[in-house]
Structure 1
Amino acid sequence: MVPAIQFKDVVKVYPLKAGDVTALDHISFEVEHGEFIAIMGPSGSGKSTLLNMMGCLDTPTTGDIFISGIGVRSMSDTELTNLRRDRIGFIFQYFNLFPLLNIIENVSFPQMLKSQKRVDEKKAVEVLRAVQLEERLYTHTPLELSGGQQQRVAIARALINDPDILLCDEPTGNLDSKTGASILDLMTELNRKGSTIIIVTHDPRVAEYTDRTIRIVDGRIAE
C-alpha cells in the first residue's frame, strides 16, 4: 500500500531581502495509513512549514511530496484545492468556526463546498455523535459553546468528507489540561477506527498519545 504521506528530499526556501531562509532542508519521511504521529521541535524549527506542505497549503522549492500516492508539485491550484477538500481534514488551535452559523451548518460547510448542492444533515449529525457532542447543542452557535465543545465541532467538520488524513495544529493549545486530555482521547479513538492523524505540538504530554514522534530542528529531521 502506498503511504498516506511521503516526502522525498523536500527543500523549502523563502526568498527574503535580508537573505534566503531555508525552512525545510532535504526532508524525507513517510507516514503510513493508520499512523498517529506527533511532530515536535522548537519555535522556528520548520514545524508549521512542514504542516503546510503536508496539507498542500504550500509547495516545495525542490523535492517531491505525495499524498496517498498523488504527487503534488505539478498540480494546479484547483487540483490542490480539490485534494485538500477531499483527502485532508484540518483541525486548528483556534477552531476557526463561523460565528454566525449554528453547529450543524458549521460541520456541513465542507460538504457544501464539495457538492455545491444541499448538504446531508444526517451525515453532520453522524460525525457530531462520533465526537460525542450533546445533541441539544446542534442548533447553537459556536460562541455559545465551551472551548472543548468548539474543538469537538471542529473535529466533526474535519471528518465530514471522510478524509484520508487529519492534520492537527496544536489542537489542545487553547484548552485546559482536562479538556485537552478528553480531545486527545477522542483522537486516539478516531485513530483506532482507522484515521491517519498528524499532530504538530510543543507539548510532550500530547506526544505521549501518539505512536511515534518526528522531531524537527533547523529544518531537518533530528535522528
Structure 2
Amino acid sequence: MVPVIQFKDVVKIYPLKAGDVTALDHISFTVERGEFISIMGPSGSGKSTLLNMMGCLDTPTTGYIFISGIGVHDMSDVELTNLRRDRIGFIFQYFNLFPLLNIIENVSFPQMLKSQKQVDEKKAIEVLRAVQLEERFYTHTPLELSGGQQQRVAVARALINDPDILLCDEPTGNLDSKTGASIMELMTELHHKGATIIIVTHDPHIAEYSDRIIRIVDGRIAQ
C-alpha cells in the first residue's frame, strides 16, 4: 500500500540576515493510511515546520514530499490549493473560525470553496452531529460558544470535505484538561473510523492517545 505521506531527505532552510536557520535537517519518514501519530519536541525543534510541510503550506529547500504517492514538487500552485482543500483537514489551537458567520456557515465554508455553489447544509449538520455539538448552537456565532464547543466546530469544518488526512496543531492547547480529553476522545473515535490523524503536541498525556510518536530535536528525527 502506498503511504499517505512520505518524506524523502527533506531539508528546510530559512535564510536570515543573522545567518541561515535549518528548520528541518534531512528528514525521512512515512505515514501509513489510518495511522494516529503525535509529533513531539522542544520549542523551535521544527514541529510546526514539519506539520506545514505535511499540509503543503510550505515547500522544502531540498528533498521530496509525496502525498498518496504523488510528488508535491510536481504540482502547480492551483493543484496544491486543490490538494489542501480536498484531501487535508486542518485543526488549529486557536480555532480560526469566522466570527461573523454562524456555526453552520463556518462548517460549510470549505465546501463552498470546493463547489463554488450552494452548500449542502445536511452534510454540515451531519458532521456537527458527529462531533457531538448540540443542535441549538448551530445558528450561534463562534464567540457565543465555549472554547471546547468552538474546537468541535473546527473539527467539523475539517471533516466537511472528507479529507484523507487530519493535521492538528496543538488542538487542545487552549482548552482545560477535561475539555481537552473530550476532544482527544473524539479524535480517537475518528481514528477508529479510519481517519489518518497527525497531532503536534508538547503534552505527553495527549501523545498517549496516538499509536506512534515522532520526536524531533534540532530539525532531526530523534532515534
The TM-score bracket by the shorter chain reads over 0.9
Q: Which runs of 4+ in 1 moved over 4 A?
A: none
Q: CA deviation at 1:85?
A: 0.3
Quote the offset at 1:84 in angstroms: 0.3
Give 1:93's aligned residue.
Answer: 93
Question: What CA RMSD, in Å, does the superposition of the two structures yield over aligned residues?
Answer: 0.5
| Aligned pairs for 1:177-216 within 5 A | 177-216=177-216
TM-score relative to the length of structure 2 = 0.99
Which residue number in structure 1 is paired with residue 125 of structure 2?
A: 125
Paired residue type of 1:163: P
The whole-number CA distance in structure 2 between the counterparts of 1:152 and 1:179 is 10
Q: How many residues align?
A: 223
- Per-residue CA distance 1:134-181 (angstroms, 9 max, x = gap): 011101110010000000000000000000000000000000000000
Q: CA deviation at 1:186?
A: 0.2
Pairwise mapping of residues 157-168 of structure 1 onto structure 2 (< 5 A)?
157-168=157-168
Q: In structure 2, the residue corresponding to 1:73 is in which secondary structure?
A: helix
Q: Could you tell me which runs of 5 or more consecutive residues in structure 1 were left unpaired when the two chains were aligned.
A: none
In structure 2, the partner of 1:5 is 5
Q: Which amino acid aligns with 2:100?
A: L
Give, in whole Å, the separation in 2 of the partners of 1:70 and 1:136.
42
Q: Does 1:45 align with 2:27?
A: no
* 2:200 alignment partner AA: V
Q: Secondary structure at the match of 1:17?
A: coil
Q: CA deviation at 1:74?
A: 2.5
Q: Distance in 2 between matches of 1:191 and 1:4?
A: 14
CA distance in 2, matches of 1:68, 1:163: 12
Residue by residue, what CA displacement relative to the aligned partner does 1:64-119 show, whole Å, maximum 9, x if unpaired? 00111111012221111110001100000000000010000000000000000000
In 2: Cα distance, 1:73 partner to 1:40 partner: 26
Consecutive unaligned residues of structure 2, counting only runs of 5 or more, are none
Rounded to whole Å, the distance in 1 between the matches of 2:59 and 2:3 is 19
Corresponding residue SS for 1:8? strand
Find the aligned partners of 2:86 and 2:151 in 1 and give their Cα distance: 21
TM-score (norm. length: structure 1): 0.99
Which residue does 1:77 correspond to in 2?
77
Query: Could you tell me which residue of structure 1 aligns to residue 146 of structure 2?
Result: 146
| Distance in structure 2 (CA, Å) of the matches to 1:156 and 1:196 | 15
Which 10-residue stretch deviates more, 95-104 or 13-22? 13-22
Q: Which stretch shows the higher mean deviation, 209-218 or 14-23?
A: 14-23
